[in-house]
Amino acid sequence: MTATATRATHASTQAADHADQAGLVPLKPAPFNAESSVAALEPDVTPTPSFYVRSNFAVPSLDAAAFRLGIGGAVRQALELTLDELRALGSQTITTVMECAGNNRLQLAPLPSGEPWHVGAISAGTWTGTPLRAVLDRAGVQDGVVEILFEGADHGKPKDGPGDIPFARSLPLDKALAEGTLLAYEMNGEPLPRDHGAPLRLVVPSWYGMASVKWLNRIHAITEPFTGYYQRNRYIYELSDGSQAQPVTTMRVKSIIISPDEGGTVPPGPLTVRGKAWSGHGEIVRVEVAVDGGDDWREARLLPQTSATSWRAWELDWTADAAGRRALRSRATDSAGNVQPDDPRWNKYGYGNNAVRPITFNVSA
């Protein structure tokens, strides 16, 4: 597709931010939602034009010069901070992997409602911003505060929701104060693009993407747990057995095969299988790869971990021997001892699927 044709398709939405869609596979034009192509996941940091986009509502257009972040609720000193005032509180740059909780939903049966994400609702970004802790320290969190609530400037009416609501999520106080939780104004060395939350977004390492509130408008220190729609009605693991739903939080251990291409053809001979693995529960300590079906798991080589909160690249040398359709599976283990399950764990909204997933490709004769 030419750049012009691509732009025309999304003319009514946010064409400027993703005029160049190389590496993005669109799911929905308005609001624009797209996953990264598998090939775009090869570099350690995903280039911004290929970074997946997940937006629930129309993308707000905020003026960075007029922007004020409000900090209120149970704090000693309510604040209204400009971007420059935020910068003056200190800056930090981190690289994190971000995965949508709905990634790999398509592997669940019966298929839950929600965006039909395949494997690419994941990307890694380098973020620069103000540590949230610095802002909360400046405002002075009062005794009795249990959570920090984050409200985006975007809003709308979810089908089964309570009317017109903003995208709002809370974090437990300890996660809000944790090292790495950032109010980011830069992504991959450039001002944050509109689709990714300009001018300011939260970045919560180790948690699924829904925690990283975009177009951040207001922060409230609260003394009771938040019960809003995107906290209690969505981003929950709800089973069909009547058990209490659990909140979706930390990213489960998972891996993806990036090369060879799924559905592609490779010549016979030596081949390096490549992929990435990640977990919010700890570092990746092992990746195994099985060629074809059965339980002949081989140990993949782990490449150096480039950031504690990002993914880890891995490789396996293999010789493509027999011609025909072949299958590959990868299985990651993290330092907390979590291993990818063989079977997807179904839940009503289709979150957190980290099951082993075979890809097939062809070895030519």
Ligand X SMILES: Nc1nc2c(c(=O)[nH]1)N[C@H]1C(S)=C(S)[C@@H](COP(=O)(O)O)O[C@H]1N2
Which of 120, 209, 228, 275 is the binder for Mo ion (CB under 5 A)? Answer: 209
Q: From 5-13, 111-119, 209-217, 249-257, give the range in contact with Mo ion by CB under 5 A.
A: 209-217
Query: Look-up: residue for tokens 């977004």?
Result: 201
Q: Which residue is nearest to Mo ion (CB)?
A: 100
Which of 100, 320, 328, 356 is the binder for Mo ion (CB under 5 A)? Answer: 100
Number of residues binding to Mo ion, judged by CB under 5 A: 4
Note if the bond before 31 is cis, omega within 30 degrees: yes
Which is closer to ligand X, CB of 21 or CB of 333?
21
Which is closer to Mo ion, CB of 170 or CB of 333?
170
Which is closer to ligand X, CB of 69 or CB of 289?
69
Q: How far is the CB of 75 from Mo ion (least distance, A)?
A: 29
Q: How far is the CB of 60 from ligand X (least distance, A)?
A: 8
Q: Does 168 bind Mo ion (CB under 5 A)?
A: no
> By C-alpha distance, which of 137, 122, 273 is closest to 212?
122
Distance of CA 213 to the CA centre of its chain: 11
Which is closer to Mo ion, CB of 100 or CB of 200?
100
Q: Does 331 bind Mo ion (CB under 5 A)?
A: no
Which is closer to ligand X, CB of 125 or CB of 260?
125
Using CB under 5 A as the binding rule, the residues of this chain from 2 to 61 that contact Mo ion are: 54
Q: How far is the CB of 167 from ligand X (least distance, A)?
A: 3
Q: What is the rounded CA–CA span in Å between residue 296 and residue 179?
A: 40
Dig out the tokens for 22 from the structure: 């190389």
Q: Which of ligand X, Mo ion, none has residue 196 at its interface (CB below 5 to 8 Å by kind)?
A: ligand X
Q: Which of Mo ion, ligand X, none has residue 329 at its interface (CB below 5 to 8 Å by kind)?
A: none
Q: Which of ligand X, Mo ion, none has residue 326 at its interface (CB below 5 to 8 Å by kind)?
A: none
- The footprint of ligand X (CB under 6 A) covers 51-56, 98, 100, 152, 154, 167, 196, 209-210, 212-215
Q: What is the rounded CA–CA span in Å between residue 9 and residue 1?
A: 11
Residues contacting 191, CB < 8 A, separation 6+: 64, 185, 198, 199
> By C-alpha distance, which of 261, 239, 253, 339 is closest to 297?
339
Q: How far is the CB of 206 from Mo ion (least distance, A)?
A: 15
Q: Which of ligand X, Mo ion, none has residue 200 at its interface (CB below 5 to 8 Å by kind)?
A: none
Which is closer to ligand X, CB of 210 or CB of 273?
210
Report the run of H or E that residue 96 belongs to, with start and end. Answer: strand 92-99
Distances (CA, A) of 295 to 8, 257, 290: 49, 18, 7
DSSP string, 285-312: EEEEEEESSSS-EEEPEEPPPS-TTS-E
Which is closer to ligand X, CB of 112 or CB of 260?
112
Q: Does 352 bind Mo ion (CB under 5 A)?
A: no
What DSSP designation does 159 have? T
Which is closer to Mo ion, CB of 71 or CB of 204?
204
Q: How far is the CB of 52 from ligand X (least distance, A)?
A: 5
Q: How far is the CB of 187 from Mo ion (least distance, A)?
A: 17
Q: How far is the CB of 2 from Mo ion (least distance, A)?
A: 30
> By C-alpha distance, which of 108, 127, 95 is closest to 306?
95
**Euclidean distance between the first and final Cα of the chain, in Å?**
32
Q: What is the rounded CA–CA span in Å between residue 122 and residue 97?
A: 7
User: Nearest 5°: phi and psi at 158?
Assistant: -60, 145
Angle at 353 between CA 347 and CA 358, to 5 degrees: 130
Coil vs helix vs strand at 154: strand
| Interface residues toward Mo ion, by CB under 5 A | 54, 100, 209-210
